[in-house]
Amino acid sequence: MKDDTPWLDEQENRIWRAFLQVSGRINAQLSESLKTTTGLTMDDYEVLVHLSESESHRLRMTELSHRLLHSQSRLTQRIDRLSKRGYVCREKCPDDGRGTFAVLTPAGMQVIKDAAPHHVKDVRAALIDLIEPKERPLVADVLERLATQARDRDLG
Amino acid sequence: MKDDTPWLDEQENRIWRAFLQVSGRINAQLSESLKTTTGLTMDDYEVLVHLSESESHRLRMTELSHRLLHSQSRLTQRIDRLSKRGYVCREKCPDDGRGTFAVLTPAGMQVIKDAAPHHVKDVRAALIDLIEPKERPLVADVLERLATQARDRDLG
DNA sequence: ACATAGTACTTAAAAGTTGAACTATGTCAA
DNA sequence: TTGACATAGTTCAACTTTTAAGTACTATGT
């Protein structure tokens, strides 16, 4: 590689290290808390959230795997487990014989309703409450820009 | 649970969603890139980085597992694999018969030296370059506060 | 209509992670 | 000293994720 990339300076390095640390630790804290209060993993919870927010409480497998940033086979197996527990089920897609919908069941809806308040409390404690209100607009802007640019790169 | 936790408002929700998205996506991008350019996973790389920055290129297993937020058994097995590849080795701790050091080998040092410029370029592209210079001081502050508070909670 | 290529999802085996039990050593008070 | 308890690290079985095929359907070109 050509050496046209400067090393990270002090401030850049602080940002990168802290980012790594924070994303690891928030994930660990929320996972831990979700597991003990509801028996769900973070991955389980995110599946249920995405379904609960979708039209007819259903999403195509591929669409869901993209949203979760999971491989298709990983999603296949997670849906297997969630449906064994009765929280989701599969339905064939009527328009496309290859397709399958993951569908939230009433039991799944109930589980996520029960879990949500705990989870919100944890998100506040781990993230939101630690950002001063006056800092929030900038933080939201920066994070959304990062999310958008990253997504654009994936697609483009 | 008592219903004393308000739901996330619009701005809080944007922050949380974007954070989730960004941390997932940056991790995916960097992993992908590291793997194709150097054959290392992110976890491998982080082990080597921590060792390379430590006194005598070595760290106690437990200390390293804390820094990486990995379980001890996960670290044991990662060090097994890295030492099979010749990038690290184990040395008994002379002061404490129970203890083991993970030690970076010259081959491991070389690997990380080769990997670093690619990785830095990726970190810039995925994170640093997307934050305006004038935003960086605040972003650094917020992230470090999040990292610190989270760590304090783990310990206390 | 048929071959070809592409898409959606699943399966199976290998690789990695978790969590509890286990080994070995260290610490400390009686 | 000894016994009780704590700490450092590994091992093992169960589980999850990855990787590489495999199956079944759709789209496209002739």
Q: Write out the H or E segment, with its range, that includes residue B28.
A: helix B10-38
CA distance A87 to A83: 6
pLDDT band at B1 (very low <50, low <70, confident <90, very high): very low
CB contact under 8 A, A143 and B19: yes
Closest Cα in chain B, distance from residue A97 (Å): 31
Q: Please check the confidence at residue B150 and state whether its pLDDT lies above 90.
A: no
Q: Where are the domains of chain A?
A: 15-155
Which two structure tokens, joined as six digits, stand for A64? 């869901």
Q: Please check the confidence at residue B155 and state whether its pLDDT lies above 50.
A: no
High-pLDDT (> 70) share of chain A, %: 92
| Cβ-Cβ contacts under 8 Å for B37 (sequence gap 6 or more) | B115, B118
Query: Is the CB atom of residue B72 positioned under 7 angstroms from any atom of strand D?
Result: yes
Q: What angle do CA B127, B19, A7 make, to 5 degrees?
A: 15
Architecture of the CATH domain B14-119: Orthogonal Bundle (1.10)
- In this structure, which amino acid lies at residue A14? R
Q: Please check the confidence at residue A140 and state whether its pLDDT lies above 60.
A: yes
β-bridge mates for residue A102, sequence order: A59, A90
pLDDT tens figures, A30-83: 999 999 999 999 999 999 999 999 999 999 999 999 999 999 999 999 999 999
pLDDT tens figures, B19-42: 999 999 999 999 999 999 999 999
Considering only CB atoms, B118 lies closest to which of A1, A19, A126, namely: A1
Question: Sign of the CA dihedral B128, B130, B134, B135?
Answer: negative
Q: What integer pLDDT is reported at residue B64 of this predicted model?
A: 98
Q: Please check the confidence at residue A113 and state whether its pLDDT lies above 80.
A: yes
Q: What is the dihedral of CA B27, B15, A118, A80, to 10 degrees?
A: -40
Closest Cα in chain B, distance from residue A21 (Å): 6
Higher pLDDT, B148 or A29: A29
Query: Is the CB atom of residue A73 positioned under 7 angstroms from any atom of strand C?
Result: yes
* B-interface mutation test, from A7, A8, A21, most B Cβ less than 10 A away: A21
**B27, closest residue in chain A (CA to CA):** A20
Higher pLDDT, A153 or A6: A6
Q: Does domain A15-155 have CATH number 1.10.10.10?
A: yes
